[in-house]
Structure 1
C-alpha cells in the first residue's frame, strides 16, 4: 500500500466528503456526519465486517469473549464478567447478560474482524502516521452511554440498528491521552444526530458526546486514531537530534535520583535549557525536521504488528507480484545500507539497491523484471523472494 492507495481507500470510505476537504478542513477541527447516502461508500461502510456483522463478531468468540468491557450512563447492578465461551451461541448469551443489565458491550482490539477492516485501519495508520485501533460497541435497546470525551479522534461507523448521538457544539479540547482524573465534561450546546447502518461520524479528540440506542439493538465500530500533533513533530525532532548529539543521551543531573529526591535538581535545569537551545538551533533547518519525520515514520511502521510470513515460491523476471493487503513501507538510507521498514520489521540492504527498493515500495503491483536500478535479474529475483518471505509481497493470482 502506497500513499495513493491509502488515500484512495480513505476517500472511498468517507465519500461523498472529498479527501482534501476532510484532511484540510475537518480533521482536528470539527465533527462531521455522513448520513443517508445510497452510494457505493454507504454500502462499503455497511459491509466493512461482512453482510452480517453480528455473525462476524460472534464467530470471533475465541479472541474476544474474554476481553469484553462495558459502559453505562447510570449503573444499577454490577456488570457480568467476561469469560471464555464454547461457541457463537454462548458468546451471544454472554452479550445478552450485559444487555439485560442495560450495559453496552465494548469489544476492544477488533481491527482483525475482517480483511477489509484491517486494510482500512492500515490506510489510516499510513495516512495519519500513527497507530489506529477498532472497538465494537454492541448495545441493547434503551442503552445510554455516559457523557464523555475521548483522547483520540474517532470515526464511528454504524453497522446494525440505530443510534442517536448527542455531540457538543463547543470546540474540541484535543486533550492529551495521559490526562487522568479529569472531571466529567459538560456537553453544553449539542447537536442530535440519528445514524443508521452505513452512516459515519467523525469526532476530533476531546469532543464531548453521548449516545443512546432507540432500536432493539445496535452495533457500531469506533475507529480510533491520532494525527501527528505539533508535540509529536517536536518529539520526533528531539529523538533525531539525540541520535546525533551525545549530550542529550547523558545523565540529566549529577545524581541519578535527582527527580525522585525533589528540590533543586542542578545541573538538570541548566542542562534542560541547553538541550532546548540545541533543538531550536537544529530545527532552523527544514531538512533536519523533514529527516526527523522520516525517521519517525520508519519507527512507526517497524513497530506495527508483523505481516504474515509468505510461503516460498518460484520467482522469475516475468512473475507479477503485488503488495500484501496491509503492507506499507518506509525507506531510510543509513550510510552503506538502506533500512526498508515494513510492519514489524526493519530489513537492512546494501544502499546500491535503493532505487530498486523505492520502486517496490511505491508500486502496488509490478513485474519483477521491471524493477529499475543498477541490478541484474538475479538480484531482482532475490529482492522479491526476500520480501515475499517477509510477507510484504505476494504473487499476483
Structure 2
C-alpha cells in the first residue's frame, strides 16, 4: 500500500501542496485506507520488545510529568553472559508504568520489522530522512510538557485514546540547533492560549504536524500507544552550509583580517565586509551544482538506512552464482557511478568501489532498481557478469532478486 496515502489519504502531490511544512493535518481512521496500525505495532509487541529483545538505552527511555527518568530506574544488567548494565528490566519498567511514567521506544525503524518496512517506503516517497519512536502512556498521565520538535511528525495512534492540544509555533520552521528548551518561557505562554487543534486521537487516527508546532498529549481511560514518525527535512539552511563548506578553496575568503586595529569597530570592518561580500558573490557564481548535490547525496546516504540484507544468504548466493541468477540493487541504497580514469567508481554512503570501465553498462543497468538476470547484463559476457555480481553481493550493493521485494 502507498505509505503516504495510508497515513494521510492524499497523494504525494496533494500532501506537498496543502500540508508539507505548511499546516497540520488530522485524519480519522474512517477516512483512511487500511485497518489501523496494529499490524505495525501493538501493545503485545511492546511487551515483547521490553522483555525478550535485550533492549538497551538509548533505544528506550521513560518520562513522568515532563521529566525524563534516570536510566537506573528502568534498566539493570542482563545476567550471566549479558552483564551490560543498561538493558531494559521488565519489572522496573512495570513499576515505572504503574507510577505513571511514559515508556518511549526509540529508533524502532532500526529494530522492529513492520516499522522498518513502513519507514523505508515512506522515506523513499518523501525524499527526506526519518526516524520512528513509540510512546506508551498509562491512563490519565502526560509524559512530556508542551514543546515543539525540530522535525515534522506523523502521529499514528495504535492503542487507547490520547488527548492532544496543538498550538501555533513560537518560531516558524526551527532548525536542529533551535530546540524548544531555548524558548521555554515563550512555549509555556503560547501553550496557555487557544489551541489550533484540541482533539482526542483513537486507534487508526493520524495527526501530521510541521516542525515548530507546539504539542502535548495525555492518555485517557486506558494505556495509550502511538508511533511518532519524525521526518528530518533537508532545508535551505543545510544547502547554505554545504555551499559555505565548498568555499574554503577560495583564496580571497582565506585572507587574514588586518592587525594593529580594533576589529570590532565598524569603520575597520566595513572594507573587510565589502571584500568578503564580493568574494562570496564571485565564489558562488563559480559554484558547481554537482559539488553541492554530492554533499546532499552523502548526507542522505548517511541518514537513510537501506533495506536490511541477510549476510549469510548474501555469501551463499555469491558462492553459488550462475548466469541464470537474477539480482537487483539493494532497495533504498544510495549510490552514484562516476568515471575514474580508465575505470569507474561506485560511490556508496560509507565507501567507494573501483571497477573496470568495461562493466559500466552492466552497473548502470543494475542501478535502475529492476531485476536483472546476469546473462542479460549489457556490455559483459556471462563470466564477467557472474564475477561482477559476486563482488556486488559481497559488498552489499545488490541482493538476490527474490529476496528484495
TM-score above 0.5, yes or no: yes
Kindly provide the CA deviation profile for residues 107-159 of structure 1, in whole angstroms up to 9, marking residues without a partner as x.
22222232232233334444455432222211111112311101111122222
Q: Tell me, yes or no, if structure 1 residue 277 matches structure 2 residue 271.
A: no
| Pairing of 1:72-151 with structure 2 (within 5 A) | 72-73=64-65, 81-84=73-76, 86=78, 91-144=89-142, 145-151=144-150
Query: Corresponding residue for 1:246?
Result: 249
Compared with structure 1, are the counterparts of its residues 130 and 253 closer, same or farther at alpha carbon in structure 2 (3 Å cutoff)? farther
Q: Tell me, yes or no, if structure 1 residue 178 matches structure 2 residue 181.
A: no
Compared with structure 1, are the counterparts of its residues 393 and 214 closer, same or farther at alpha carbon in structure 2 (3 Å cutoff)? same
C-alpha displacement of 1:360: 1.4
Q: Name stretches of at least 5 consecutive residues in structure 2 with no aligned partner.
A: 80-86
Kindly provide the CA deviation profile for residues 334-384 of structure 1, in whole angstroms up to 9, marking residues without a partner as x.
543544344543333345544432321222433223333x33223322232
Larger Rg: 2
Contact 1:68–1:107 (CA under 8 A) maintained in structure 2: yes
Query: Corresponding residue for 1:379?
Result: 384
Q: Distance in 1 between matches of 2:220 and 2:257?
A: 62
Query: Corresponding residue for 2:46?
Result: 54
In the alignment of these two chains, the number of paired residues is 375
Aligned partner of 2:207 among 178, 183, 201 = 201
Contact 1:320–1:395 (CA under 8 A) maintained in structure 2: yes
Contact 1:153–1:224 (CA under 8 A) maintained in structure 2: yes
Q: Distance in 2 between matches of 1:213 and 1:24?
A: 32
Q: Distance in 1 between matches of 2:135 and 2:58?
A: 15
C-alpha displacement of 1:28: 0.6
Kindly provide the CA deviation profile for residues 158-181 of structure 1, in whole angstroms up to 9, marking residues without a partner as x.
222221211125697211111252
Query: Corresponding residue for 1:393?
Result: 398
Compared with structure 1, are the counterparts of its residues 41 and 387 closer, same or farther at alpha carbon in structure 2 (3 Å cutoff)? farther
SS at 1:150 equivalent: coil
C-alpha displacement of 1:249: 11
| Pairing of 1:1-397 with structure 2 (within 5 A) | 9-37=2-30, 40-43=33-36, 45-49=37-41, 52-59=44-51, 61-64=53-56, 67-73=59-65, 81-84=73-76, 86=78, 91-144=89-142, 145-169=144-168, 173-179=172-178, 181-184=182-185, 185=187, 186-187=190-191, 188-190=193-195, 191-239=197-245, 241-242=246-247, 246-247=249-250, 251=254, 253=256, 263=264, 269=273, 272-282=276-286, 288-289=288-289, 292-302=292-302, 308=309, 309=311, 310-311=314-315, 312-324=318-330, 327-336=332-341, 338-372=344-378, 374-397=379-402
Query: Corresponding residue for 1:4?
Result: none
Q: Which has the higher contact order (CA 8 A, sep 6+)?
A: 1
SS at 1:209 equivalent: strand
SS at 1:122 equivalent: helix
Query: Corresponding residue for 1:5?
Result: none
Q: Distance in 2 between matches of 1:218 and 1:169?
A: 25
Q: Distance in 2 between matches of 1:127 and 1:345?
A: 25
Kindly provide the CA deviation profile for residues 297-343 of structure 1, in whole angstroms up to 9, marking residues without a partner as x.
1443156568654323322222122444x542231425435443445
Q: Distance in 2 between matches of 1:41 and 1:289?
A: 42
SS at 2:116 equivalent: helix
SS at 2:250 equivalent: helix
C-alpha displacement of 1:183: 2.3
Compared with structure 1, are the counterparts of its residues 293 and 66 closer, same or farther at alpha carbon in structure 2 (3 Å cutoff)? closer
SS at 1:381 equivalent: helix
